[in-house]
Structure 1
Amino acid sequence: MNEKNDDITFSNLGLKESIIQILSKLDISTPSLIQQKTIPEVLQNKNVVFESETGTGKTFAYLLPLIQNLENCKSNEDKIIILAPTYELASQIKLTASQVTSLKASLFIGGTPIKRQIEVLKDKPQIIIGNPSRILELIHLKKLKTSNVRALVLDEADRLVSVEIADETKKLISTIPCDAQFIACTATLNQNTKHTLKGLFSNLSEIILPKEDILSRKITHYALFAESRDKISTLKSFILAENPEKVLVFTSRADQVENIAQKLQYKKVDCMALHAKTDKKERKAAIDRFRNGKCRILITSDLASRGLDIPGITHIVQMDLPSNEDFFVHRSGRTARAGKSGINVVIGDEYEMRKYAALEKKFGLKVYPKMLYKGKLVNPSDIQDFSEE
């Protein structure tokens, strides 16, 4: 069965009443398909790797059963470790965990003073969340014991076993007890990632859901032509024309994030910037302002295309197309979450429009060409109608 059964409840899946009541307060009553498939497997302490599109509830799919198993442990020394490739995703996981359990969850990310994190460990948190390098550092310093780790999660596993950080991830895994439970999840599980994971862990149960075609069914795709030198002014005109409720703007070049934000701000367009070199406090402030609607435009590099789960993003604007096609999927997937619809706009030059056409064919999308004309976003065929008015 590959279709969601709306008659299945969280209780049917084996979750206890206290967790179900918390979910009800969060207005979550029916498990998503990936949750229906994954929760019973994790509750049975199976090693699981699963793939599901963005916005389908992957975090709760592993977090709810792991928390239940951890709460049932007799020892408060037992813990789980959740690895994430970015600060944003790790922070999101911690926030999600704090919503559903009183167990202490703590964040351990590079760039934050390690002495402060060592102090946090003295409170014996049972849910450890962070990036591989910092957690591995704490293990090597003998400040974080792994002998009582019950489960290890790789969230966005494809990134965690990518060339850039694979060594650190593998070294950390080598410190975890052999009988610990292993879980890996991602929205884009390719054969290389799958092969690597099977080499690291045995007896993996695979849960690979059929694509729900969120990219084509829930997201409307626009193509807006602009030469490179005109892209920022085109972005400004698009924002003025569409007046989007909440828009996330992506650029592949981290050094362009501030440039775009400053030029928009100069034109009196309120926006915030977020990139790899942004200070942790500034990152949090930017995301918080964007989340609560105090600022409706966030400019970012691809660091935020993974795991940035902010409700109500109505528009995605891509100022270029990433070299990695998976990043296009993750960028676009920041909108149309939790059953809603959204708009994805690519502002590109001639080369990027050809590349976009190739993605249109590969992913089975329908891309609508658009133009800015007299302060409005229109179809190219509409311009003749405007001129005859």
Structure 2
Amino acid sequence: MTKFSELNLSPSMLKSINRMGFEEATPIQAGTIPLSLEGKDIIGQAQTGTGKTAAFGIPLVEKIDTKNTNVQGLIIAPTRELAIQVSEELYKVGYDKRVRVLAVYGGQDINRQIRAMKKGPHIIVGTPGRLLDHINRRTLKLDQVHTLVLDEADEMLNMGFIDDIESILKNVPEGRQTLLFSATMPGPIRKIAENFMTNPETVKVKSKEMTVSLIDQYFVKAQEREKFDILARLLDTQSPELAIVFGRTKRRVDELSKALSIRGYQAEGIHGDLSQAKRSSVLRKFKEGRIEVLVATDVAARGLDISGVTHVYNYDIPQDPESYVHRIGRTGRAGKEGMAMTFVTPREMGYLRIVEQTTNKRMTPMRPPSVNEALEGQQRLAKEKLVEAINSNGLDEYEKLVAELLGEYTPEQVIAASLKLFTKEPDKTPIEITEERPLPFKGERPRRNNDKRQGGGGDRNRRGKSGGSYNRNNRSQQGGNRQGQGQGQGSSNRRRKQD
């Protein structure tokens, strides 16, 4: 593996990357960053979840002149969610260099965007329709753009944005550097590469191996409001030695770890906003067994190599299959078997089917355990602990107390009381878990004329919160872009991938 320290990056960039918790570059990053820093046009063929945002974001940020208040980098993304996600990742990448990033997309107040543009963002991330709208209004000047990125080009083709993209490309200087990323390379995408790129280098990364043969995979179909109690009952029934619970957002991780602690589980969470010291402390306690449940976002769990994880719970189903494989791959290691449970709301069943098709393995439906079954599971665990204590010897000092107890109570009563003390009975202490909106219905496609009317890239049928993404020095121009916690359901999709 290639370390970021080997890629000839600036000290400020390495500082930002270290803050994000990254040490080793993914294959798409290792292949793309050196070529991009040389100024070459690049075709990157890679699936979502391979780290492609940092692959184009790191060299782009390196080339930004922060003294120049003009737009120097332009990224075109198919949806508002991706535009927000990319802008947030770039904000983190450019944090120590103080690079300003602005996301623009349909469904957002365009006058607010215009005001934000006047504050001199260095990088614009936007959906095709809204970018074209700003170009036509002459509120977006692209004459000093030196780097153009087309992200998820095949998705933009599927959504009918090829004409818009070509119109945007004609407004960007011909001498620019162009980076095109696409999971597949259909004819129209190749044509764009031929017409608008100069001798592009191709960086192709194969999909991660989708073999998960040693992992038993289950899914639980449940409404959002039911998920936490089902999780608690599964933990009580299955009694995992070490378990990881994956949540989609930072807020989700914070709320889940707190709720699990309230219910009596040894749980802590990790996500991208934690300091490296705090993250290391939590992981150390988890490896040592002082935490039985680790709650994590995808980004925070990246690169985890922890032996002994027996169970993985996907509290929120990931959007793409590779993230799913990455998550459940935390268990079933070193030839040992593991178990993975994925919670799916009725609206998200389409994502489950895509995961199954990609991994070529059907998940087994699981009936959630009842409260009584959860209690029985804990009672069995209590019995095992009691038997273990008996077999460990060293009980001589307690025999006098036993004689006293048996003088007043029957042996059955004494053993039953012992088991009760060992048993963690199901807890119904009230907890607060904010309901997150489900992922967009798989297969929904915005109608072309709606996109035009809204002015933005497939935004209308998506579920992101309407709000801006102008980041500078830990602030957000529109509010709530970078720190989405506690801001209602709109935050769920804002950090669906990058967290």
Q: TM-score, normalised to structure 1's length?
A: 0.64
Q: How many angstroms apart in 2 are the aligned matches of 1:136 and 1:169?
A: 8
1:163 Cα deviation after fit: 4.1
Residue equivalent to 2:136? 140
Select the residue among 293, 316, 320 that pairs with 1:331.
320
Unaligned runs of at least 5 residues, structure 1? 249-286, 298-307, 319-328, 379-389
Q: How many angstroms apart in 2 are the aligned matches of 1:296 and 1:170?
A: 49
1:190 Cα deviation after fit: 3.9
Q: SS state of the match for residue 175, structure 2?
A: coil
Unaligned runs of at least 5 residues, structure 2? 236-243, 260-296, 302-311, 332-339, 374-499
Amino acid paired to 1:62: F
Q: How many angstroms apart in 2 are the aligned matches of 1:49 and 1:174?
A: 19
Q: How many angstroms apart in 2 are the aligned matches of 1:43 and 1:88?
A: 27
Q: How does 1:57-68 map to 2 (within 5 A)?
A: 57-68=51-62
Q: 1:232 to 1:108 in 2, by over 3 A?
A: closer
1:30 Cα deviation after fit: 2.0
Amino acid paired to 1:341: R
Q: 1:82 to 1:337 in 2, by over 3 A?
A: farther
Amino acid paired to 1:124: G
Q: 1:142 to 1:128 in 2, by over 3 A?
A: same
Of 105-114 and 15-24, more deviation after overlay is shown by 15-24
Select the residue among 204, 217, 222 that pairs with 2:217.
222
Aligned length: 301
Q: 1:100 to 1:371 in 2, by over 3 A?
A: closer
Residue equivalent to 1:290? 252
Q: How many angstroms apart in 2 are the aligned matches of 1:174 and 1:51?
A: 24
For residues 73-108 of structure 1, give each alpha carbon's deviation from its aligned partner in whole angstroms, at most 9, with x where no partner exists: 874435101112222222222222222321211111
Residue equivalent to 2:28? 34
Q: How many angstroms apart in 1 are the aligned matches of 2:369 and 2:253?
A: 32
1:153 Cα deviation after fit: 0.8
Percent identity between matched residues is: 22
Q: Which has the higher strand share?
A: 1
Q: How many angstroms apart in 1 are the aligned matches of 2:109 and 2:178?
A: 29
Residue equivalent to 1:162? 158
Residue equivalent to 1:245? 245
Q: 1:114 to 1:370 in 2, by over 3 A?
A: closer
Q: TM-score, normalised to structure 2's length?
A: 0.51
Amino acid paired to 2:314: H
Q: 1:52 to 1:220 in 2, by over 3 A?
A: farther
Q: SS state of the match for residue 217, structure 2?
A: strand
Deviating beyond 6 angstroms after TM superposition, the runs of 4 or more aligned structure 1 residues are 346-349
Q: 1:166 to 1:194 in 2, by over 3 A?
A: closer
1:32 Cα deviation after fit: 1.8
Q: How many angstroms apart in 1 are the aligned matches of 2:48 and 2:71?
A: 30
Q: How many angstroms apart in 2 are the aligned matches of 1:160 and 1:35?
A: 22
The yes-or-no answer on 1:98 pairing with 2:94 is no
1:165 Cα deviation after fit: 2.3
Residue equivalent to 2:193? 198
Q: How many angstroms apart in 2 are the aligned matches of 1:147 and 1:337?
A: 41
For residues 103-122 of structure 1, give each alpha carbon's deviation from its aligned partner in whole angstroms, at most 9, with x where no partner exists: 21111111111111111111
The yes-or-no answer on 1:151 pairing with 2:140 is no
Of 36-45 and 330-339, more deviation after overlay is shown by 330-339
Q: How many angstroms apart in 1 are the aligned matches of 2:49 and 2:41?
A: 23
Q: How many angstroms apart in 1 are the aligned matches of 2:124 and 2:88?
A: 12
Q: How many angstroms apart in 1 are the aligned matches of 2:322 and 2:172?
A: 33
Q: How many angstroms apart in 2 are the aligned matches of 1:66 and 1:77?
A: 14
Q: SS state of the match for residue 64, structure 2?
A: helix
> What RMSD over aligned residues (CA atoms) do the two structures have, in Å?
4.0
1:81–1:127: 8 Å Cα contact kept in structure 2? yes
1:344 Cα deviation after fit: 6.8
Residue equivalent to 2:176? 180
Q: 1:190 to 1:339 in 2, by over 3 A?
A: farther
Residue equivalent to 1:50? 44
Residue equivalent to 2:367? 372
Of 48-57 and 174-183, more deviation after overlay is shown by 48-57
Q: How many angstroms apart in 2 are the aligned matches of 1:129 and 1:221?
A: 40
